[in-house]
Amino acid sequence: MAMEIVPVRPDFVARVGGVDLVSATHGEVFARLRRALDDHCVLIFSGQPMNDRQQLAFSRWWGPMEPTKGVNPASGTPFARQSNLDVETGEIIAPDDRRMAYQRGNYRWHADSTFKRVPSLCSILTAREVPPEGGNTEFASTRAAHEALPDDLAAVIEDLIVEHDFSVSRGRVGFQFTPEEAAHYPPAWHPLVQTNPVTGRKSLLIGAHASRIVGWPVDRGEALLEDLLERATPTAAIYSHRWVKGDVVIWDNRSVLHRATAYDSARYRRLMQRTTISSPDSVNSDSYARIHALREAATAKQSGGVTR
Ligand code: OGA
Ligand code: MN
């Protein structure tokens, strides 16, 4: 079987065929898949049903997996579960249940785990149970958005640092963490402009968790982030994935935004299992060195240290 990578759009998203992800070996296929992620940012595979064990084995190819903490129903496991089904009983959860309110945070454009100090390389989502209508996942490219920026705006944002804060993003959709839950998620700082180390192409780390620009008044930072988000997500630039059971989709969290769309969750069952790959090497890059220094200075100042 020869693996085939076919672009869906000229600027991002590709379909990958001619490979069986469960029986293929790392040595045969991984280098091409990894490069395809850098080039196309979203990879779609059809007819690749996986159970949890198979998904974990495939996910390990990509790097260290993030454990799921806090409020996700799969907390304590390597999976984030996007589902209206009770973990224990498999029954449909009532739409007004707190667990469903939490998941509706996914309706806003975001990249996964940007609120963590170590950002994510990519997410792998497998479709286990799919509603007959609705429940698409939409994708938009922040690499294309960066490429289309006017030069003066690109210059203004080049060295900015963006704070991502999970409590703020869930708060904006009316979901309040308890103090105990919030303690899992201290805000994280990242370069607003990310550079892919393989392709050299730039993208924007924005989306729902982006709460402010470090060193800017909050409202000015929010206005900039809102402007960048609008530039990245015009309707014509969106790829909407209609899920079929057995689909596997991998997306690059450094260069695409995604969001869930509604479905009749009181009526239809939906179960998607996500593994999230961490990118520990990225925080050793030059652009993060400045962030570490600034954060240390800020912490020293807060604790009364001398910062001259
Ligand atoms: C995710 C996510 C969207 C969806 O798994 O990270 O945002 O449609 N999912 O379930
Ligand atoms: Mn997500």
* Domain of residue 62, CATH code: 3.60.130.10
Pocket lining: 254 vs ligand 1, CB cutoff 6 Å: no
Let me know if residue 308 belongs to a domain.
no
Dump pLDDT digits (tens) for 48-61: 999 999 999 999 99
Per the domain annotation, does 84 fall within a domain? yes
Per-residue model confidence (pLDDT) at position 308: 40
Ligand of minimum distance to the alpha carbon of 136: 1
pLDDT score of 304: 65
Total number of domains in the chain: 1
Closest CA to 254 of 125, 137, 146, 120: 120
Please choose, from the candidates 175, 152, 193, the residue with its C-alpha nearest in 3D space to the C-alpha of residue 70: 175
> Is ligand 1 within 6 A of the CB of residue 66?
no
Does a structural domain hold residue 104?
A: yes
* Ligand lying closest to the C-alpha of residue 124: 1
Would residue 160 count as lying in a domain?
yes
79: containing domain: 4-303
Q: Quickly tell me which residue has 């939490």 as its tokens.
A: 102
Contacts of 203 (CB under 8 A, 6+ apart): 141, 142, 143, 145, 146, 193, 194, 196, 254, 255
Q: Of 120, 123, 271, which is best to mutate to test ligand 1, by the most ligand atoms within 8 angstroms of its C-beta? A: 123
What pTM did the predictor assign?
A: 0.95
Residues of the chain with pLDDT under 70: 304-308
| Whether the CB of 125 sits within 6 Å of ligand 1 | yes
Residue 95 placed within a domain:
yes
Is 173 within the bounds of a domain?
A: yes
Residue 187 lies in a domain: yes
